[in-house]
Amino acid sequence: MQVSKWGNSLAVRLPSELVRTLGLKEGDKIELVAAERGLAVRREPSAEEVLERLRSLRGRLPASQRLTRNDANAR
Please report whether residue 36 resides in a domain: yes
Report the chain's terminal Cα–Cα distance, integer Å: 52
| 23: number of Cβ within 10 Å | 8
Please report whether residue 27 resides in a domain: yes
Please report whether residue 70 resides in a domain: no
Q: For position 22, which CATH number holds?
A: 2.10.260.10
| 70: number of Cβ within 10 Å | 7
Identify the CA nearest to 14 among candidates 57, 70, 31: 31
Please report whether residue 71 resides in a domain: no
- Which value, in Å, is the radius of gyration of the alpha carbons in the chain? 20
Please report whether residue 67 resides in a domain: no
The number of domains in the chain is: 1
Q: Containing domain of residue 18, as a range?
A: 3-61
Please report whether residue 14 resides in a domain: yes
Please report whether residue 69 resides in a domain: no
Give φ, ψ of 24 to 5 degrees: -80, 150
| 28: number of Cβ within 10 Å | 13
pLDDT tens, N- to C-terminus, the chain (75 residues): 788 999 999 998 888 998 999 888 888 888 888 888 888 888 888 888 899 988 888 877 777 777 788 888 886
pTM beyond cutoff 0.85: no
Please report whether residue 74 resides in a domain: no
